[in-house]
A and B are shown apart, each in its own frame.
Chain A
Amino acid sequence: MKVRKNLPEIMKELISEQKYKDNIVHWHTIEEKEAKTAGLPEDIHPSLIEAFQKRGITRLYTHQKTSYRTAMNGDSLVAVTPTASGKTLCYNLPVLQTIVNDPDARALYMFPTKALAQDQKSEINEIIQESGLDINSYTYDGDTPANIRQKVRRAGHVVITNPDMLHSAILPHHTKWVSLFENLKYVVIDELHIYRGVFGSHVANVIRRLRRICRFYGSDPIFICTSATIANPLELAEKLTEKPMKLVDNNGAPSGKKHFVFYNPPIVNKPLNIRRSATLEARKLAGELLKNKIQTIVFARSRVRVEILLTYLQELVKHKLGPKAIRGYRGGYLPTQRREIEKGLRSGEIYGVVSTNALELGVDIGQLQVCIMTGYPGTIASSWQQAGRAGRRHGESLVIMVASSSPLDQYVIQNLDYFFNKSPETARINPDNLIILVDHIKCAAYELPFNAGERFGTFETEEVLEYLAEERVLHQNGDKFYWMKDSFPAHNISLRSASQENVVIIDQSDTANVKVIGEMDRFSAMTLLHEEAIYLHQGTQFQVEMLDWEEKKAFVREVDVDYFTDANLAVELKVLEQDKLRTSTIGEVGFGDVSVVAMATIFKKIKFETHENIGSGPITLPEEELHTSSTWLSFNKESLNYKQDRLEQGLIGTAHALKHIVPLFVMCDPQDVHVVPQVKAAHNEKPTIFFYDRYPGGVGLSEKIFGGIEHIMHETMEMVSRCSCEHGCPSCIGTDTSSETGKKDVLRILGSFKNGVNQAGDKFVH
């Protein structure tokens, strides 16, 4: 019988033993950090001090104190805090003290999900209870019973809600919330970094409406935001709230020594450059740790993988640790179940948790010794959040990132400089996207009539109001615009998508309990919800059984298959208007509005891991038109003097590689930006690669690409050239290119542009 190994011993094995050490690409150690604290502010009410002391808080971390001082000074702020650094005190402290000073004062807390709101309610209520102060805090969401809603509206000092509820239930009924809006001192936005892309653009408009209503009732609340580490927390907070903000980033929470290990599974198929599955490697590593009773959290990207890992690991340690020692953790867990897992982790009954990225959001499950990521989580920001799950305040911890074969994973694992030294992703929003904006101007007009010349946030409304009056949505009388419809506009507007005519996704796995599980805009639905498509919803695989295009309904059923589907979209792109242009001897980079006419043609079934094509089928759907913003990259014919088919292959390969790198730079889901190559673009007859926002009107992603295109090209070139395959593989330029010159041509295309522009000596925006 072997003696149980501890974490330092296991780390030693990782470094020394053959089966591990060749796969370890990099071992990065982050030294421990002492806590930086400050005394509790003197103006805090004795009952609150007592309540904090009961919870073991006698001093504040520096960032908590700065937040308190900033907010009490009347300034809005965004606090950037890593996982488990006591961020809730950044807002609970000023809010509670303000209510102690003025019992009429009110605060509105906004969390992206109901579950987080519930968690926070328990936390703040515990403090209030221990202080014995007469402060009411309530959640207000779809589950709030009708009989207590009135009490929440009238007497809730702290109202905890989510943006959807604010949008469709609170703002359109603001006259029932007079005591909240008249006395609103604080708006707390937790998990700020979640509000990006389309969702963030919607929420920014909801906040415009909120602030407009506050003005009507004579209040101007202070905003307190907390965010995970992203490149532009201050910019995002200011864009979302349109208020000047102070950045609080003097994190004073202590952390122990942390080892960050990058693990690349061995190559099993040299010519195709296919590596051993990340899931299998993660399973091996986790098994070793758990056998030695080292508390470990394993992240997997889909629910199916969570299940696979969970089953295997439970089997592995069944006799040693008992069946309940390793638990799964996915979206949809109830607070009570989470409490049970937290308790088990603290008491040591639970050794392992296998989770999807549901745990990335600030739910506190305590901290473990080891974190294993099965595959790169998609963004640097979420990598750090997941890594934050391991790391006690004292003692060492270990984070292992196991890379998969995908180009993005391979890029990251070969560019650790990028990972550690570059700032993490920038979160983009575009509150002035016309589709989104106009929807919210309708809601705002329903809430309060518009004055001619009134601004909506920073947006000049004149033309939109005139348009809506012409459309008989508003009625202009004198210098005011009034809502003139018998409908309730917020009901038809979902914050989680841009276009109104969405396809509803209906799960019919359980015939007795058919339910709607989501919706998707038309344009995406063509390639993601066609019949026989495998649709992933919160990590679960569903197969589309029927797509009713007329009624905009997709009927799906849960399945468990080892492939995904990839549909071909025949795209015709027209440049409608060119807003920006930079030229050089090699070609040009443009930005502007485009029309995309797309028709889904066929789909392929592609096996996980090997990416083999294991079948295909036709798609019969009508063509769709999308107007959006786009950045394009055109090459002068002289600079790419290939024959037609070699040129085409080169562009396809280049687009494939770019498609994987782009999301990394603009912080979006891979589906949010499409990359389309054209041998001869209609507007300038040049070989061109288009990048366009998938959402009507655009959400600012293409514009960001325009600014950083040289950088993106360069990084993509590095990624392709570092790939160890010979002529191209799924990890770099894709397999659509079959020629032996493919990889070489792609590299030349990627490289030529950069050199060309440099020679021309143009100015770039980075």
Chain B
Amino acid sequence: MSIKNKLNRLKGHLGTEKDKQPTPAKVSKNNINVPFKEVWEAESVYPYYFEDSYCLVREKEYSLDQMHGIYSFGQFTAAVEAWNSSDIKHPLSAAGHRPENLFFFDTETTGLGGGTGNTIFLLGQASLHGNKIKLKQHILPHPGAEVPLYKSFLESIDYSTMVTYNGKAFDWPQVKTRHTLLREHVPKLPPFGHFDLYHAARRMWKHKLERIKLAAVEKDVLGIERKDDIPGFLAPMIYFDFVERKNPEGMLGIIKHNEIDILSLISLYTHLSFQIMQLDKKQTPREVYEVGRWLSTLGESSQAKTAFNKISEGESSEALDARFALAFEHKKHKNWDEAAKLWKDIAEKGLMNMKLISCIELAKIYEHRLKDIGQAIMYAKKASNMMKDNSGGETEKLKIKQEELHRRIVRLERKFNRN
């Protein structure tokens, strides 16, 4: 019995799909005949030939005064200039770079997760050339054309830093994976700096966005509207269909989708830069607070303080958060009096957890720094009472704190009695 007959008999055990389309005609040996060439050219997509194969390349230019959401592309150059004259040391800082050194990068792939068999079928990039933004997209016409695809791509990436959305975890490792498979045939991948805007967006807007997908950030933060957009999860299916039928129809939608993704990266980088440098007039107090916290974790203490000070007036929750954070900054710099002043204020007005921590911090300061054991005992006991009032949902963490606090009180009372 032939293997194929056996396979058809065993089909039920093989778990392949049930409804099948008719078999397409086999693709004959490629003799550099580009199917639907006219359709492609009408969309300014042209073949890039290499050896006996080709990939497709689409190029498009935008003027700097064109708006994409709330920003024009010209404002991106302003953002880079601002970094160059700013003192803030930040992972997204473009200080030392010219706007032309950055390239914005996004891919479309045949699968979701990482893995060797997940093919990249579209590599898209954009960067500043003179007074234009130039978009370039490299398209894989069929899976056998990866050599020209990467050849074309590698010729077009003479930049220092790439800007992506989750590219550190996904796009770039996937490029490396596919490149490893072709490494005998194409040049080496150059090293790049990498600004991954996904993590930045998470820090800034996770308080208001449920999922930090680029589409959500575009819509709610950057004011970008997409019309007739093809959802990303359909991309593999559309590509498989394109590979079979060769008709560019569906692919044009994905190319458009990728184009907007990349353009949005420019606006997003511009926006994040203005946020971090606090140059955005419309920045909300919550955003200022998040920037402050980020700068604080980066050790940019004075910049963080500037941010917190900006919003620390008043009784809004951001103001309280900012004062609470400021107190820790003062603690870091051993400004005990100022830290104590802020914590005393929060110990009166803040939310439960903030009050509690403030009291504990005050007890520490009075014990070790300001050497006022009486005050220290007072705040420690206050904290202890708060904890008892709040003992509804007693977590493990809280229990440990309670034990700590108890030991502190015992120790303080011993000290007090000794004096």
Contacts and interface: CB of A to CB of B under 8 A. Distances in A.
A472 interface: yes
Contact of B13 (A447, A487, A627): A627
Interface residues of A, number: 48
A515 to B, nearest CB: 24
A634 to B, nearest CB: 21
Interface stretch (B66-74, B108-116, B269-277, B373-381): B108-116
A697 B144 contact: no
A39 interface: no
Contacts of A475: 142-143, 240, 243-244
A174 interface: yes
A434 interface: yes
Contacts of B3: 434, 463-464, 467
Interface string B1-25: 1111011111011111100110100
Contacts of B113: 488
Given A178-B180, A464-B7, A482 B144 contact: yes
A467 B8 CA distance: 9
A593 interface: yes
A627 B30 contact: no
Contacts of A466: 4
Given A434-B6, A466-B4, A697-B13, A471 B20 contact: yes
A499 B112 CA distance: 25
A488 B111 contact: yes
A447 B115 CA distance: 8
B9 A627 contact: yes
A449 B111 contact: no
Contacts of A438: 7, 14
Contacts of B240: 472, 475, 484-485
B32 interface: no
**Most B CB within 10 A of own CB, among A434, A448, A464:** A434
Contacts of B114: 173
B115 A173 contact: yes
B42 interface: no
B27 interface: yes
A696 B12 CA distance: 10
A625 interface: yes
Q: Please tell me the size bucket of the interface on B.
A: 35 or more
Contacts of B216: none
A470 interface: yes
Contacts of B243: 475, 484
Given A434-B3, A470-B23, A471-B20, A482 B119 contact: yes
B392 to A, nearest CB: 22
B4 A463 contact: yes
Contact of B2 (A175, A445, A463, A471): A463
Nearest to A171: B116
Given A175-B176, A464-B3, A486 B10 contact: no
Contacts of A483: 110, 117, 119
Contact of A478 (B9, B30, B236): B30
Contact of A471 (B16, B30, B116): B16
Contacts of A463: 2-4, 7
A721 B398 CA distance: 75
A476 B23 contact: no
Contacts of B236: 486
Nearest to B173: A176
B207 interface: no
Interface string A532-566: 00000000000000000000000000000000000
B281 to A, nearest CB: 42
A175 B116 contact: yes
Interface string A428-442: 000000110011000
B13 A446 contact: no
A29 interface: no
B15 to A, nearest CB: 4
B209 interface: no
Nearest to B30: A478
Interface string B91-111: 000000000000000000011
Given A475-B244, A477-B142, A486-B111, A175 B13 contact: no
Nearest to A498: B13
A381 to B, nearest CB: 30
**Which residue of A470, A476, A593 has the most chain B CB atoms within 10 A of its CB atom?**
A470
Contact of A175 (B15, B30, B119, B181): B181
Interface in A673-713: 696-697
A486 B180 CA distance: 20
B237 interface: yes
B160 interface: no
B397 interface: no
Interface string B235-271: 0110010011000000000000000000000000000
B418 interface: no
Nearest to A464: B3
A174 B110 CA distance: 18
Given A480-B144, A485-B111, A577-B1, A499 B116 contact: no
A331 to B, nearest CB: 30
A172 B10 contact: no
Contact of A447 (B8, B112, B116, B144): B116
B227 interface: no
Interface string A480-524: 101111111100100000111100000000000000000000000
Interface string A404-420: 00000000000000000
A473 B142 CA distance: 15
B29 interface: yes
Contact of B177 (A176, A476, A487): A176
A576 interface: yes
Interface in B128-160: 142-144
Contact of A172 (B8, B112, B116): B116
Nearest to B178: A175
Given A447-B116, A482-B119, A576-B9, A175 B180 contact: yes
B414 interface: no
Given A471-B17, A477-B143, A697 B10 contact: yes
A463 B344 CA distance: 79
A446 B117 contact: yes
Given A477-B27, A500-B13, A445 B176 contact: no
A467 B7 contact: yes
Given A172-B116, A175-B176, A478-B144, A473 B16 contact: yes
17 contacts: A173-B115, A178-B180, A434-B7, A435-B10, A447-B116, A463-B3, A464-B3, A467-B3, A467-B4, A470-B23, A477-B142, A478-B30, A486-B111, A500-B15, A627-B9, A627-B13, A697-B6
Which 5 A-B residue pairs are closest in the complex by CB-CB distance?
A446-B117, A482-B143, A486-B236, A175-B180, A477-B144
Interface of B: 1-4, 6-10, 12-17, 20-21, 23, 26-27, 29-30, 110-119, 142-144, 176-177, 180-181, 236-237, 240, 243-244
Given A448-B181, A466-B4, 4 more contacts: A448-B116, A463-B2, A477-B143, A478-B27
